[in-house]
Chain A
Amino acid sequence: MVLKAVNLQKTYPGGVEAVKGIDITVEEGEIYGFLGPNGAGKSTSIKMFSGLLRPTGGNLEIFGIDVSTDFQKIKDQIGYVPQNLIYYDHLTVMENLQLFAACYEIERPEERISELLDLLQISEIKNRKSSDLSGGQKRRVNLAMGLLNDPKLLFLDEPSAGMDPQSRRVLWDSIRRLVDTKDMSIILTTHLMETADKLSDRIAIIDHGEIKIVDTPKNLKEKFGTGEIIQVQLDEEVNGRFEEILKQLSLQYEDVNVRNSTFRIGSEDAIDDLSGVLEIIKSFVSKEEIKQISINETTLEDVFIKITGSELRE
């Protein structure tokens, strides 16, 4: 077992309970995702795991070592990639990496840096000032710095926040490759469903400092999904009638919600239910006011809404 937290708590001075006693175990080679809205306690948890915050209760072991007493012993084996882009803006990518390589006392730092630059596809920008990079490049530099010491356990705090889809995909591929080739375990936090879904072997859904459930993305969707989702997008101009439509749909179907002018109805048999759904909606709006109709598989977001009773907050 790589990491084991039992009843881990963090209460900040002033009485704010950021983490209210979480239990998790992370196995070797696993990518463990913390999914939750901002303020759910994800970053506080990951900072406790990485030794940056002292827990106010509970136990935490990494590689079988008690972090509260022997953190120095496992420091070499962990890597931390913070949510914010943390490096010296006025240094080049290379200068930042050289500084951290020296701080980690890396043997043959040039080799290690070159390996990471290739892995994260940022070799061509190594001599550019860090402040001049694009958002995706900055994220990858941020990640490279956390990987310099070749950690056995890597903490990624919101790794793909603010990245464009292409950079996100490069990042995911890199992370996957690290786990596959380096036998690394990863704990990541994210408020992005896609990141959690694509990257995590298991997901812990966390809200208000508590873990609501832990399982694989597939199992979560199977357990909490209702098969398929009928989505009907209406013209925004008819939003005055949304409440009445929602009321009528809810009389017929159990799992109904509306967001961004789109009604989402959970269904065991979407093909059968589709005509009934449209009949109710058409009794309130004209055909022209229906923008799009689709049938989708249940997403992690649907699971999240079911478990926490709310959408992911930004």
Chain B
Amino acid sequence: MKTLKRFWLLYLSNVRVTTRVRVVLFFTILFPLMFIGIFGIAFQTGDPSNTTIDLAVVNHDQGIPDDGNVYRNITGDIVSGDFYSREYLDLLGSVTFEDNETKIFDITIFDDEESAMKRVEKRDYGALLVLPENFTTAAMASRRALFEGIIPLDWTIYPPANFTTQLTVRGDSTLVQFTISYSVIDAVTQGFFTLDMVDEIGGSVYLDGGITSSGLTVFDFTVPGLVIFAILSNLSTVTVTALRDMKDGQFDRLKLTKMRVSEYLLAIVVSQLTISVVQIPLMFAGAIIFGFPISTRILYAFIFGILVSLSVTGIGILLAAFVSSTEAASALSGIVSTPMAFLAGAFFTMPNPTLIPEGSILGSHKLGIFDLIPARPAITALRVVLLTDQGMAGVWYEFWLTTVLVIFYMIIGIFLFSRKHLRAK
């Protein structure tokens, strides 16, 4: 009970000290909100959807099974060849942006995935869509599911109604073109296989939660980065807080009480988390004013926001191990946090040189040098969960990568900080 009270008061003191300093309040709350405002005004109406996205496609579809059966479409006509994937690609190629006649995709067919991916990596194409061998089989199964018992055909020769397949969209998920490609393809595919929204495709493609993918703006794409940027801007506060008590003798004074060092450090961590937890809804509230779509998926932002906040605390403590004055701490954290925000892709996508290539120890994932900045996978994940309907299922790799980085920076930070400042002199 006494430990809890001590921790509570240490925590409360940290929060009070931070929030009662106007300049700190400005940099933690108002400054990031200003960015929301600036980006909101600049890009809210600057719809990237006016620009057609180059989409690479590799089509492995084997078409109608050559099994001696005669298959017909729902109008009774005999079908053959790779009819369904061709129809699907025609549909995809005809989809236009919501407010104009500009086509979303300019499709280029490639023979193999490797050469297509090279062009995607060079950013000649926004994404690569891979259609599986059984695409048509799956389409036929979906027709059976939809029309068996309604349209008189010999449905028994068709693939079973529960037959499913998977399309793959590959590319750099930190790019706005990829995010748009993914969400449009996802919606078109859903519409194609269920036929329930065919009429609407081309005008407006709906995703879960009523978000209109064709309405995605650069601002929408930037918001996840700005939210994480707000949390990154706490780096200076953490570094200065950690060092201040060492330098002005406050920690020495506290050390003579029954306070444990672990309680002291935990109070710093939790007080920073609190500030981040306040920043996240404020940032989204600001973003919503500028047209960011309201969605329950914003709750995911808390998961990644908390992870980034923990990593910022770890990095802040780490930086405090290398400086001896609060002035130096403030300067160093500024030097680190600003490039970190840019390299993490908070404002726009940066090239990310490969450290561990795809297909090696990380399986289908690759690790870039800048992925070692915890904010980067967090921003990527936030873009996916907020702007597509993948949910957490699509970002587990980013979640675990961010978590591992949080643990790494925390351990290294506390170790070096303890060695420099907490050892008996």
Q: Which residues of A contact B (CB under 8 A)?
A: 50-54, 75-76, 78, 80, 82, 84, 86-88, 90-91, 95, 98-100, 102-105, 129, 145, 149
Contacts and interface: CB of A to CB of B under 8 A. Distances in A.
Contacts of A98: 9
A86 B249 contact: yes
B9 A90 contact: no
Given A52-B256, A91-B16, A149-B257, A86 B250 contact: yes
Nearest to A146: B253
14 contacts: A51-B256, A52-B425, A75-B258, A84-B248, A86-B253, A87-B250, A88-B250, A91-B13, A98-B9, A103-B254, A104-B258, A105-B258, A145-B253, A149-B257
A90 B6 contact: no
Contacts of A103: 6, 9-10, 254, 257-259
Interface residues of B, number: 24
Given A52-B252, A90-B21, A91-B17, A100 B257 contact: yes
Interface string B253-279: 111111100000000000000000000
- Majority SS of interface residues in chain A? loop
Given A54-B425, A102-B6, A88 B17 contact: yes
Nearest to B6: A102
Nearest to A78: B256
Contacts of B16: 88, 90-91, 95
B122 interface: no
B21 A50 contact: no
A104 B254 CA distance: 9
Closest 5 CB pairs of A and B: A103-B257, A90-B20, A103-B259, A102-B9, A86-B249
Contacts of A145: 253
B248 A86 contact: yes
Contacts of A52: 252, 255-256, 425
Nearest to A109: B5
Contact of A80 (B9, B250, B253): B253
A51 B257 CA distance: 12
B250 A99 contact: no
A80 B250 CA distance: 12
Interface centre among B248, B253, B254, B425 (most CB of A within 10 A): B253
B13 A99 contact: yes
Contact of A105 (B2, B248, B250, B255): B2
Given A86-B248, A88-B17, A105 B6 contact: yes
Nearest to A131: B20
B10 A99 contact: yes
Q: Is the interface of B mostly helix, strand, loop or mixed?
A: helix
A51 B254 CA distance: 12
Nearest to B425: A53
B424 interface: yes
Contacts of A82: 249, 252-253
Nearest to A13: B425
Contacts of B21: 90
Nearest to B2: A105
Interface in B307-345: none
A46 B2 CA distance: 30
B425 A99 contact: no
Contacts of A149: 257
A99 B8 CA distance: 9
B258 A84 contact: no
Contact of A75 (B5, B252, B253, B256): B256
A75 to B, nearest CB: 6
Contacts of B248: 84, 86
Interface in B403-425: 424-425
Contacts of A78: 256
Interface in B236-258: 248-250, 252-258
Contacts of B8: 102
A86 B20 CA distance: 18
A105 B10 CA distance: 13
Nearest to A89: B17
Nearest to B263: A103
B3 to A, nearest CB: 9
B220 to A, nearest CB: 38
A102 to B, nearest CB: 4
A95 B255 CA distance: 18
A190 B281 CA distance: 53
Interface string B160-200: 00000000000000000000000000000000000000000
A50 B249 contact: no
Interface string B1-35: 01001101110010011001100000000000000
Nearest to B18: A90
Given A82-B249, A102-B5, A103-B6, A90 B17 contact: yes
Which of B13, B16, B20 has most chain A Cβ within 10 Å? B13
Contacts of A86: 248-250, 252-253
A295 to B, nearest CB: 45
Contact of B424 (A54, A75, A95, A104): A54
Name, among A100, A102, A105, the residue most crowded by chain B CB atoms within 10 Å (CB to CB): A102
Contacts of B255: 52
Contacts of A75: 256, 258
Given A88-B16, A100-B254, 8 more contacts: A80-B256, A87-B250, A88-B13, A90-B17, A95-B13, A99-B10, A100-B257, A149-B257
A158 to B, nearest CB: 13
